[in-house]
Structure formats: C-alpha cells, structure tokens
Structure 1
Amino acid sequence: MRAIGLLVSIGVLALVCVASIAIGAKPIPLADVWHGLVADEGVGNDVIVRDVRLPRTLLGLIAGAALGLAGAVMQALTRNPLAEPGLLGVNAGASAAVVTAISFLGVTSITGYVWFAFLGAAVVSVLVYVLGGSRSATPVRLALAGTAITAVLYGYVNAVQLLDSAALDRLRFWTVGSLASADMATIGKVAPFIGVGVLLALALARPLNAMELGDDAARSLGAHLNRTRALSMLCVTLLCGAATAACGPIIFVGLMIPHLVRAITGPDMRWVLPYAMVLAPVLLLAADVVGRMVSRPAELQVGIVTALIGGPVFIHLVRRKKMAQL
C-alpha cells in the first residue's frame, strides 16, 4: 500500500507541476504549455513557459524536496516532532550572510549572494554542532544552541536592515521566501548541493530509525550516534542551506510535511524520507500557485502562503493531547 501511495503522490506532484507552469498572471492553455516545453520557438507563450514558469517550477520542485527531507531528518535527529530546519540556525545563518553581502560588500544579484547564503548556513550549522557538544552532542543541546544563535543572528539582520534602507529594499522579497526570481543559473548553482543532500538523507534512513528508539537502544543495535548526528547535520545544512539560499527562508514546510507523511506511512524513515521528498514540493508549488491566483495580476509570496497555512497547523500540533513522540 505504501508503494502505491508513493506512486499516487508522484502523480499528484506531476499535476501540480503542470498547474505551476500553466497558472499565473497570464493563464496559459495546456496545449501552449506542451508546445513551449517540447517545441520552443522563442515567441509568445513559449517564452513565458521556458524562461519564466519552467525555472520557477523546477526551483519549487528541488527546494520543496530539500525542505521536506531536511524537516524529516531534523525531527528524527532531535526526537522532537515540532522541530524544523530553522531549529539549527540554518535560515538565520543564510539571512545574516546575505544581509552582510548586500549591505557591506555591494552584492546585488541572487547569483552573487546565493554563495554567501550557503556559506552562512554551513558556518552556523558547524557552530551549533560545536556549541552543542560536538561528539557529546545531544538533541536538547543542539536545539538550545541553535535557538540561541538564531536569536542573535536575527537581531543582527534586523539591525542592519534598519540602518541600511538599500539592504532592506533588496532583501524584502528574499526574506519572506519567494520563487519569483528563479532562473536556470540559480538552479544550476544549488542543485548539486541538494542532490548530495538527498542521497545522504536516504542513506541515513536506517541509522535514524535506530536513533528514534533512544541512544541506548540505538547503540545496542550497532548505530554510531556521533557519526549519524554529524552526517545528519551535514545533510540538513546541504538541503536547507541550498534551498534557503535560492528561495529565502521558507518556513513550516519542513514542519508540516513529516507529520502528514508519518500519518500515511508510520515512523519508518525508509518510507518517511521518499514520501517527504515528493509531498513537500506538492505543498510548496501549490502554495505558489495559490499566491499567484489570489492577488492577480500581482502575487502573494510563497513564504507568506506557507506561513498562513503552517501557523494554524503548528498550533494544532502543539495543542494535541497525544502528540506522537519520535
């Protein structure tokens, strides 16, 4: 049944991808969508399909998969059902690096500051791991270190933006999370990192299954706790760092999707991870389509839509009397 459900999820993802290409400020007939994909003549709707909608959809596809996998790994690593990638300071590190690049180094294009965002996410993840105890790190210490660093870095980001109006103008779309500035150059820069992160996440399924039983049980099953935690943090850094660099800090996708997936598959990470990799882009692209539809001819940024959906879901999860323990 789980295999059939995964195939159905892939079919739903394909339909959402088509909707993402066809729906926007200018609706495009499905026949024109197909023509633009397979017989681009460089005119009319072909330009919109190939140069605007297709890169946007591809970015939503890989960024959604990255955020869903990162959230599932985070919740398993910390054994906290309310954890999401921002818990380790990845979003805060990327934001701090981008605001520094824009305000102090004069970087103005997304292809320029995507590397700063990724570097900031990586540095903060290493710092959280060190402050959390390195080899003696525990889920609680990692979460506390990530929360503390996140608070400091977002204070820095807000201060710089208040003092530098130019940085505020350039960051205002990136900081709420958006797919609108997608292009093939950006996708080409982040896709290799996301690809490595996906492979690493799938390889960690069995060790994470053991760690969900607790440290003592995991050791008795032969799991290497420190190695698994270090590789999990590297995986989250690659996945969430690359997605954040390209799209900005999109929240709640990594929180909501693992809960939905576990309701379908149970706690087995060998199924949770593939499902999360498929269903997270469904949510992200669907939210992007909704954002384009509700405010035509303008659009509502995808990060705002996911926040509007995720806020009530988060409250529901917190208020549940019998929240599933990982």
Structure 2
Amino acid sequence: MRTIGMLVAGLAAMLVISFISLTQGLADISLATVIQAITAPQDLPDHHLIRSVRLPRTVMGLLSGAALAVAGVLMQTVTRNPLASGTTLGVNAGAYLAVVSGMIFWPVMQGRYSLLFAVIGGALAALAVHGLAGGSKGTPLRIALSGMIVTLVLSSITSALVLLNEQTTQGIFLWGSGSLVQNDWKGVVFAWPWIVAGLVAALFFARQLDMLMLSEETARSLGQRVGLARAAAMAAAVLLACVTVSVVGPIGFIGLMAPHLVRLTGVTKHAGLVPLAAVWGAAILTGSDTLARLFVNSYGELPAGAITAMIGGPWLIWLALRVSRRVEGGMTTSMAAGGRLRFGSYRLWVILFSFLLLAVWTLSLMIGTLPIPFTEILAVFSGGGEDMYRQILMEFRLPRLLTAGMSGVALAVSGSLLQSAVRNPLGDPQIVGVTSGAGAGALFLMILLPQLSISWVPAGAMIGGLAAAALVYAASWRRGLNPTILTLVGIAVAAAGSALINLMIIHAKLAVAPALMWMAGSTYGRGWAEVLQITPALILLLPLAWWFGRRVDLLAFGDESAAGVGLNVRNTRLYTAVIAVLLASIAASNVGAVGFIGLLAPHAARLLTGTNHRQNMVLAALIGGVLLAGADLLGRIVIVPKELPAGIVTALLGAPYLLFLMWRSSRMPRRT
C-alpha cells in the first residue's frame, strides 16, 4: 500500500507540474488554452507554441528526470554507496567534456554520434572515480571526494576548450548548466528509446539488483554472478545519465534526491524503487524547470540544472549528516597521503623554493607581448630605466604579479590549515565550499548591487566565504566538527555556491569568456587596488596561522589524544578554519575561484618536510606563490594572443599529481 500510495502521489504531482509547466514562459497562456491545444489543436499561434516548443520541453524534462533518478538508483546499488549519482561519480562532467570535445574537433561525427561521445566520456570518468576511490572497497567519503576532484579536473579542461574555441561553442554556457530548452521534437525522438530501454532493463533485473545489496558472499551463494551483474547495472546507469547529458547538458542531484525520497517511505526493493524513483525524478526535474520559468520575465531564461543544484545542495547536506552516522572515524588514515622524501633538509628546501620564487617572478616581469630585458628591470627598480618600460612594469606587470603571488600564498596557507582542521589531506578551500561562497558573494555585489564601488568586492567575497564556512560548521557542530561531516557538507555547499554563481552570470547576461574566466580564476587586469586589498590580510593572518602551529600539530594525533593533553579540539578546529576561510576569501575576491593551489602546495610541502605545521606552512606559502605566478605566466604565453585563466592552468598542472595521490592512497593498507 505504501508503494501504491507513493506511485499515485508521484503520478499526480507529475501530471499537475506538467500542466503548470506548459503555462509558463514569456507568452502568457492559460491552462484552458493548454488543454485545448493538446486535446483539440487548431491553427493558432498559442497552440503551435505549446505543441512545438513547450510540450517537447516538458516531455524532455519528464524523460530526463526519470533517467537521472534511475541512474542514481543503479549507481547507489552497484557501489553500495548512498552518495553515488551521475554528479558525484563524475559521469556528468565526463560526458559533458566528451560532447564539447566532439563539437570542437569532430563536429560531423559528434552531430551523428553525440550519445556515443557522451557514453565514452561518462564511462571513463566513472571508471576513474571508481579506481581512485579504492574500487569496491571505497567508502562514501572517498567516492565523493574522488568524484569531486575528477569533476574539477574535467570541468577545467572543458572550460579551457570553450575559451579557446568561443566561436564554435557559442551558446554552450546555458546548455552546460543543464537546460531543458527544446525548439522541436528532435531531442525527445532521439532520447526516448534509450531512456525507455534503460528503465525497462532496470525493472527486468530488479531481483538481481536486490541481491547486489547483500554481501558479496551471500549473493554468490545464491547463484548471482556479482561481477557481471554490477557491470551490466553500471553500464545501464551510465547510458541513462549520458543520454540526458547529450541532449540537455549536465543536470545534477536528481539521482540523489529522487531515490532517497522514495527510500524514506521504506521502499527498498528495486521492483518498487525503480518505477517510483523514475516518477518522482520526472516530477522534481520538471518542477525545477517550471520554477525557473516563473521568473523568466524578471531574470531571463534560467537553467534547470542550476535550480536542481540549489535544491539539491541542502538535500545533500541532510544526506551527508545521515550517512556520516555510518562512516564516522577512520577517515584520516584512509585518506592519508603518507610518507616524505628521504633527502633534503627543511632549510635546503626553503632556500631552493625561495630562489625558484624569485626566478619565476623575474620571468613573469620580463616576458610578455613586449619583452623587457633583465637589465631594464633592474634599472627601473633602481629608480631609472626608460619611461615606457617603467610604465609597463609599474602599472601592469608588477601589480598583476604581486596579486597572483600573494593570492597563491594565501590559498596555500589556507589549504594547509583546512587540511589540518578537517584532518583530511584532500581538504581545500574549493572542496569545503569557501571558494564558491566567496565567488558568489563577490558576484552578488558586482551584479545585483552595481551602485556600490569596486572596493566593496573583497568585502562581499569575505562575507560569502564566511557564510559558506558558517553553514558547513553549523551543520557539523553537534557532531564535534567531525572531519567526515565537514568534508561531505562542504561538498554540498560548494555545489550550491557554484549553482548560485551560474544563476547570477546568466541573469547578468555576461559573455561566456569573462564568465568562465571569473569562475576558473584569473589575474587579468589586476592592479594596485588588489595588492592593497590583500596585503593587510596577509600581514594580519599569516602570523596567526604560524602561532597556531603547535595546536594544529596536536590535531593530527586524533581528537581523543589531543584532548588528553589539554587541547580544546573543537575551538582549535574552529579558529584554524576561520583563519583559513578569511585567507581563501580575500584571495578569491582578487583572483576568482582558483582551485588546486590549496591542495597541491600543502601536499608538496608535507612530502618535503614531514608533518611539522610551521615548516609546512612556510614551504607551502613559497610553493603557492610559485604555482599561481607560474600559472599566470604560462596562461599568458602558451596561446598568444589569447590568455588561459590561471585557475585552469593550475588545474591542468595539478591534475596528474592529484590523480596519482588518490591512486596511491587507495592502495595504502588501512589501519583501524
């Protein structure tokens, strides 16, 4: 009866939402006109609009929502991980990258075989996440982190391709945020056979899916071919997710919300779970698109994917709190990077990276559209030199270099503090939501309050970063700021912040290139105003980060051991995180959402010096200054006359190391 009740309620919600969806848009059309257009169509403009534009869009929403929900069910079953979905496993990002690559490099083939491109990209991304998370032994946290890192890497590559091929990829930003816009029935005609086949297959193998939820030994004893069943179920899930990406772009969180909404009612058998998830997924996605169109007259066309992310963020927070009850503890060792190099002292590495920092900064001043000899740079800084060189250096290159260098230092120290605070070597301002929160706060002031001067942007970024961190810590406070909960909630907040940034960019009708450059992180056009904004923050906060060194070192021994020697663990973790959030927020206000610096620099420092926080912080700061300034330099010279944002360069440079790190940590023996 419970299953039947959920099915009736879902079908009723889907029907009501569908009719409301058909009435929403720029043209004011009544419900009576919609019913007449469907049941007794006439040669009227409103009827043609409904049948050729709005009805395909609504049907595509129903199909896509059902496909994504069932894909989420299958992925959660195969991985036995309640956080698995096309979003968290990187399938959406992989499929999106493959479709964009095909659009640029093989447009004819992509036009004919768009689904094939999407499936290949999504499958490879899922395999990468599965392998990096430790295979079948991966915990929910490891899978979520692996999926987010793979998604960040793939998204950075996609952004670089879009920026380098603006003419070819015009109009892709809205689709890339997940848009159900349909101008005819072609998308529905293409997608519905694949989606229906996937849904039927999932229903047909419902009993085998139930057996996959048992232990592997029990399933084998009942005659189940576990490996084959998992492969088949995952293939169906990837196909369903990639079909939707190839038509409507990457839409997230439906695969998380719908299955868990059904499970809350007690339905766990796949014979009921699959159809109920499909119905409720269709209703949720179509409802999200309808909600977006309620504001079309005021804010323009908003993507359904951004709305689902805004709704799904709180849902993921709740789910993370629910899941964390079963996965608390053991996270630190399972995620440990482990080891350090056997050669070189701390003093030697500081000297080497100081010279490297000086070399990179000098090259950044010398290289550009107009090369400047080293002798002229010395002359300018000595008070002489030619006027032209002095103007280029002092008004353009030097402030840009200082902004990049000091922002790199801030992000590196922030990452070092956060990794210690959450006891997770994959902690980063971007992963725990600070960077996206700061970006959203800065954009809010620039776009929605344009009457304020540009000097208010850092304040907006700091408020946004602090708000994101406050949300993460408030959700985790009752659990003693448990590192597992902090990380999972941070992922949810980061996703919601990114969706909010997408909504503001689309509302402001920003061009694709500036929008992507802001989201990726760029130092283009930075001047002395940014230098003056970040310098006081570093002067104030870096000594505080240093002063917390001994307390941060104690956190590495675990909460009970640290408390046993008199450390107030909760307050130490809170104060450390506040400093980290402030550093990351001020950096984001100056250079945008630069990622990976807060991951790479602390890891490299720890690999070279060991676990002493103060030594790590100094070396990480030097490495961060080298990385972001070097990334800015590479972005200026690799594709002259165009520029790649520094954030994309850091992602492309950091991806191989991070993937190696995840692979290495997945092979380390776990301690209990």
TM-score by length of 2: 0.44
- The answer (yes or no) to whether the contact 2:98–2:121 under 8 Å persists in 1 is no
* Greater Cα offset, 32-41 or 308-317: 32-41
Report the Cα offset of residue 93 of structure 1: 2.6
**Counterparts of 1:11 and 1:22, CA distance in 2:** 17
1:119 equivalent in structure 2: 117
SS of match in other structure, 1:71: helix
- The answer (yes or no) to whether the contact 1:67–1:280 under 8 Å persists in 2 is yes
**Counterparts of 1:83 and 1:272, CA distance in 2:** 16
1:138 equivalent in structure 2: 136
2:494 equivalent in structure 1: none
Output aligned runs, 1:284-303, within 5 Å. Answer: 284-296=285-297, 298-303=300-305
- The answer (yes or no) to whether the contact 2:89–2:125 under 8 Å persists in 1 is no
Output aligned runs, 1:179-218, within 5 Å. Answer: 179-218=180-219
- The answer (yes or no) to whether the contact 1:56–1:180 under 8 Å persists in 2 is yes
Report the Cα offset of residue 174 of structure 1: 1.2
1:315 equivalent in structure 2: 317
1:306 equivalent in structure 2: 308
Report the Cα offset of residue 124 of structure 1: 4.2
**Counterparts of 1:147 and 1:113, CA distance in 2:** 29
Report the Cα offset of residue 293 of structure 1: 0.6
AA matched with 1:177:
G
Report the Cα offset of residue 211 of structure 1: 1.4
**Counterparts of 2:103 and 2:325, CA distance in 1:** 42
* Greater Cα offset, 296-305 or 150-159: 150-159
Larger radius of gyration: 2
Give the alignment's Cα RMSD to 1 decimal.
2.8
- The answer (yes or no) to whether the contact 1:59–1:182 under 8 Å persists in 2 is no
* Greater Cα offset, 88-97 or 43-52: 88-97
Report the Cα offset of residue 96 of structure 1: 1.4
Query: Which stretches of structure 1, 4 residues or more, deviate above 6 A after TM superposition?
Result: 144-148
- The answer (yes or no) to whether the contact 2:65–2:281 under 8 Å persists in 1 is yes
Report the Cα offset of residue 213 of structure 1: 1.9
Output aligned runs, 1:244-259, within 5 Å. Answer: 244-259=245-260
**Counterparts of 2:287 and 2:252, CA distance in 1:** 15
2:74 equivalent in structure 1: 73
AA matched with 2:118:
G
1:27 and 2:28 are equivalent in the alignment: yes
Report the Cα offset of residue 88 of structure 1: 4.0
SS of match in other structure, 1:28: coil
1:189–1:287 distance in 2 versus 1, CA, 3 Å: same
- The answer (yes or no) to whether the contact 1:265–1:272 under 8 Å persists in 2 is no
- Superposed CA offset, 1:2-23 (max 9, x none): 2133122212211111111122
**Counterparts of 1:274 and 1:302, CA distance in 2:** 22
- Superposed CA offset, 1:1-51 (max 9, x none): 121331222122111111111222223222211221122223221011101
**Counterparts of 2:263 and 2:294, CA distance in 1:** 30
- The answer (yes or no) to whether the contact 1:32–1:46 under 8 Å persists in 2 is yes
AA matched with 1:242:
V
* Greater Cα offset, 117-126 or 207-216: 117-126
**Counterparts of 2:225 and 2:128, CA distance in 1:** 18
Report the Cα offset of residue 137 of structure 1: 6.0
- Superposed CA offset, 1:250-292 (max 9, x none): 0001011111010113322221111101000110011111101
- The answer (yes or no) to whether the contact 2:98–2:120 under 8 Å persists in 1 is no
- The answer (yes or no) to whether the contact 1:67–1:85 under 8 Å persists in 2 is yes
2:275 equivalent in structure 1: 274
1:193–1:102 distance in 2 versus 1, CA, 3 Å: same
1:318–1:137 distance in 2 versus 1, CA, 3 Å: closer
AA matched with 1:287:
S
SS of match in other structure, 2:297: coil
Higher relative contact order by CA 8 Å / sep ≥ 6: 1 or 2? 1
SS of match in other structure, 1:169: coil
AA matched with 2:224:
A
AA matched with 1:103:
I
1:131–1:154 distance in 2 versus 1, CA, 3 Å: closer
- The answer (yes or no) to whether the contact 1:128–1:145 under 8 Å persists in 2 is no
**Counterparts of 1:314 and 1:127, CA distance in 2:** 21
- The answer (yes or no) to whether the contact 2:102–2:117 under 8 Å persists in 1 is no
- Tell me the matched-pair count: 320
Show structure 2 runs of 5+ residues with no match.
328-672
- Superposed CA offset, 1:78-104 (max 9, x none): 111111123443212321122113323
1:157 equivalent in structure 2: 158
SS of match in other structure, 1:172: helix
**Counterparts of 1:103 and 1:282, CA distance in 2:** 34
Report the Cα offset of residue 204 of structure 1: 2.5
TM-score by length of 1: 0.88
1:292–1:49 distance in 2 versus 1, CA, 3 Å: same
**Counterparts of 1:240 and 1:82, CA distance in 2:** 16
Report the Cα offset of residue 209 of structure 1: 1.3
2:632 equivalent in structure 1: none
- The answer (yes or no) to whether the contact 1:93–1:117 under 8 Å persists in 2 is no
**Counterparts of 1:90 and 1:118, CA distance in 2:** 14
* Greater Cα offset, 312-321 or 148-157: 148-157
1:230 equivalent in structure 2: 231
Report the Cα offset of residue 231 of structure 1: 0.9
AA matched with 2:301:
E
* Greater Cα offset, 212-221 or 276-285: 212-221
**Counterparts of 1:114 and 1:95, CA distance in 2:** 16
2:102 equivalent in structure 1: 101
AA matched with 1:125:
A
**Counterparts of 2:303 and 2:199, CA distance in 1:** 26
**Counterparts of 1:307 and 1:274, CA distance in 2:** 23
1:41 equivalent in structure 2: 42
